[in-house]
Amino acid sequence: MSASNLGKVAVLMGGRSAEREVSLMSGQGVLNALQACGVDAHAFDPAERDVSELKRDGFDRCFIALHGRYGEDGTVQGALELLGIPYTGSGVMASSIAMDKTMTKRVWLAEGLPTPAYVLVHREHLAQVSVENLIKTLGLPMIVKPAREGSSIGVTKVVTAEELPAALAAAGVCDADILCEQCIVGDEVTCPVLGAGESSRALPVIRIVAPAGNYDYQNKYFTDDTQYLVPSGLPASEEAAIEALVVKAYQVLGCRGWGRIDVMIDAATRQPYLLEINTSPGMTGHSLVPMSARASGLSYEALCCQLLASATLDHAQEVLG
């Protein structure tokens, strides 16, 4: 589809979530890429403007570069459905489920897909939580994180029992639901998926080697100390198995457009475990989907235009573009 046929495009960026800063970086990159391709693209920050202005101002489609709450959780997707403006990425239901790590794990487990064991803790019941029982169930080390945040915000790797109460409290600041998860020790990888339904396909796997194994917010976005290996260096059979697994995980959630799934590979058994899915992945200079796409021969600009051309609605008669 030519740039002129894409119409007037709003790049939604910023927003009101804890990931606002990252979203602004993603959105600016997407905006620059689309404009370089000749698309009539404009920045639009839902934290500063009412989304109803999208209809009033004649936007034909939206590229969602929002992350986290009010952007990746089905809320803005629902608003765009009501406005009748096609948008990039997953629809309302898939976005809402994928944003909630616990709900995502429930779907994956129901479909027989491997994901680490977990215990869900509610913030209002923190005083009654038994540290001893949690450790007995999940072991140490353990990962504690908010159920509905991204970018490693509020995430703690708990190594000793003494660290657990503070980790629970930190996650509880971010979310009423706190996910305590078995820590899989081994290789950390991520794999993007493009497309919808049976046409979904994986991009190359990226292996992540972070300083001291700590892939936190700082090491994700603001340092150059983390290594991203693509090709991953994994055996071809392992990489193929991971790609097949993430495509299945993406499909059973009903995702479309694009996404990125994080996976841990158990060092002892080489079993891959699904951690979580991002349905509006980062598009910053440190982001992984553009890196993987580039390794497959797809430039940042071409990726942005391809995603924009796939913009649609849950209830459209046919996919636009």
Q: What six digits make up the tokens of 224?
A: 């150059």
pLDDT of res. 318: 45
175 belongs to the catalytic site: no
Distance separating alpha carbons of residues 264 and 188, to the nearest angstrom: 5
Active site residue 260: yes
Q: Among this protein's residues, is 276 annotated catalytic?
A: yes
**Whether 21 is catalytic:** no
Beta carbons of 138 and 182 less than 8 angstroms apart: yes
Same domain? For 169 and 140 the reply is yes
Catalytic residue among 221, 250, 273, 300: 221
Number of domains in the chain: 3
More confident residue, 179 or 226: 179
Lowest mean pLDDT among 41-55, 78-92, 177-191, 220-234: 220-234
Q: Which residue has the higher pLDDT, 170 or 319?
A: 170
69-83 residue pLDDT tens: 899 999 999 999 999
Inform me whether the pLDDT recorded for 1 exceeds 90. no
Query: pLDDT confidence of 210, banded at 50, 70, 90?
Result: confident
Is pLDDT at 317 greater than 50 in this prediction? no
Same domain assignment for residues 159 and 219: no
From CA 296, how far away is CA 231, in angstroms rounded?
10
Domain of 29 in residue numbering reads as 3-88
Question: Are 192 and 274 members of one domain?
Answer: yes
182, 205, 222 — which closes off a domain?
182
Are 269 and 257 within one domain?
A: yes
Residues 109 and 243 in one domain: yes
The model's pTM is: 0.92
Cα dihedral 153, 113, 258, 211 sign: positive
* Residue 43, domain CATH: 3.40.50.20
**CB-CB neighbours of 194 under 10 Å:** 24
The answer to whether residue 316 is domain-embedded is no
Of 90, 278, 280, 310, the active-site residue reads: 278
Are 255 and 135 within one domain? Answer: no
- Looking at the fold, whether 47 and 57 belong to one and the same domain comes out as yes
Candidates 95, 195, 282, 300; catalytic one: 282
Query: Which one of 14, 19, 187, 195 is the catalytic residue?
Result: 19
Would you state the pLDDT for residue 257? 98
Q: What does pLDDT average to over the chain?
A: 93
Q: What is the CA radius of gyration of the chain?
A: 19
Query: Do the domain assignments include residue 309?
Result: no
pLDDT at 226: 85
> Catalytic residue among 187, 260, 273, 300, which?
260
Q: In the annotation, is 72 catalytic?
A: no
pLDDT at 150 over 80: no
For residue 223, what pLDDT is reported?
63
Q: Which of 100, 149, 175, 262 is catalytic?
A: 262
In angstroms, what CA-CA distances link 79 with 46, 92, 131? 11, 9, 41
CATH code of 288's domain: 3.30.470.20
Q: Is 135 helix (H, G, I), strand (E, B) or coil?
A: helix
Report the share of the chain in percent with pLDDT over 70.
93
Cα–Cα distance between 284 and 30 in angstroms, integer? 9
Q: Which CATH number is 157's domain given?
A: 3.30.1490.20
Q: Are residues 222 and 276 in the same domain?
A: yes
**Looking at the structure, do residues 197 and 245 belong to the same domain, yes or no?**
yes
* 106 in catalytic set: no
How many C-beta atoms lie closer than 10 Å to residue 315's C-beta? 9
Express each pLDDT in 249-282 by its tens digit: 999 999 999 999 999 999 999 999 999 999 999 9
